[in-house]
Amino acid sequence: MRELYPPIEPYHEGKLQVSELHTIHFEQSGNPNGKPVIFLHGGPGGGITPMYRQYFEPNLWRIIIFDQRGCGQSTPYAELRENTTWDLVSDIEKLREHLGIQQWVVFGGSWGSTLALAYSQTHPKSCLGLILRGIFMLRPQELHWFYQEGASYIFPDAWQEYLKPIRVEERHDLLSAYYRRLTSENLQVRLEAARAWSVWEGSTSKLFPSESTIQRFGEADFAEAFARIECHYFVNKGFFKTPNQLLDNVDRIRHLPAVIVQGRYDVVCPMITAWELHQAWQEAEFIVVPDAGHSMSEPGIRTALIEASDHVVRVVG
């Protein structure tokens, strides 16, 4: 098993105004002359953590990480206006141009894999390659599995807590019921729903549930942006034209070197989605971690991702 690279501090942090309303926070670490990689965090609304820098050999990579609209240190906090997949795709390209980068590797897991696919299919000439983990394409069947019925059969105890804020008569459409609460003007109603939504994901993201992960997901500062922005994207079906848009557009990125890492027992983003992407894109290396769930911090997934980043930096070098 591979351990993370040692902690490092950014050599540059900044803000980039991407619209009249939104400003995003970004940072750079590693080697300023290294191979550029853009890290796309999960959620949407999850924000960045220092640990993300440690998946890359700091002498070889120029590591760019940013908080997507409405979360982390980006402003305004938990804002849903002007917050769509295509706004974020535009932000990534604006950040690339702002930093004077011609091409970069795109790294994304969970929702970050969704965004990585959307961005690379829109701007393939800006990309050197992709590293993807915990594949999520935001299709109706994926949302139904995790937020309406499916994962509840595996985690009935955590599901019971997820249901608590929602009245029985509203439970036939949990996404809509949650959206009403997460956009309520009543702060208490918003926070109760946000914590329940967020803790549900934190409770199911690892093969062996982690109390520290559950606690972090339940913190109000994290949960409100995470739950509001996720639910906003999900009730709007990711702002995609068709459910299979990302799968149908694989030809646009087929030429790029890519690694797909998937936990066999991922309950949040079940392996069927990664498998279908693999079937459509067999040129990409496909790695199934046999003893892992969803989280990138699980030992098998951590190891596969570090090995993938070590490999890709040399392939695109």
Both structure tokens of 88: 């974020």
Amino acid symbol at 203: S
**Backbone phi, then psi, for 125, in 5-degree steps?**
-70, -15
- Choosing from 29, 41, 67, 110, the catalytic residue is 110
Which one of 22, 25, 123, 294 is the catalytic residue?
294
294 is catalytic: yes
Tokens of 18: 């991407």
Q: Please say if 157 is a catalytic residue.
A: no
Residue 20 class from Cβ within 10 Å (0-12 exposed, 13-18 middle, 19+ buried)? exposed
Do residues 263 and 231 touch, judged by C-beta distance below 8 A? no
- φ and ψ of 130, to 5 deg: -135, 145
The sign one gets for the Cα dihedral 287, 292, 298, 300 is negative
Q: Which of 80, 130, 76 is nearest to 105 (CA)?
A: 130
What is the distance between the alpha carbons of residues 24 and 95, in angstroms, rounded to a whole number? 9
Active-site annotation holds for 255? no
Task: Give yes or no for a contact between 290 and 265, defined as CB atoms under 8 angstroms apart.
Answer: no
Q: What is the CA radius of gyration of the chain?
A: 18
Q: List the beta bridge partners of residue 63.
A: 29, 37
Following DSSP, what letter does each residue of 188-222 receive, concatenated?
HHHHHHHHHHHHHHHHHSSSS--HHHHHHHT-HHH
Q: Give the CA dihedral 142, 283, 260, 108, nearest 10 degrees.
A: -80
Alpha-carbon span 211 to 113, nearest angstrom? 25
Q: Which of 120, 205, 266, 309 is catalytic?
A: 266
* Tokens matching residue 128: 């050197």
SS3 of 274, please? helix
The residues annotated with a catalytic role in the active site are: 110, 266, 294
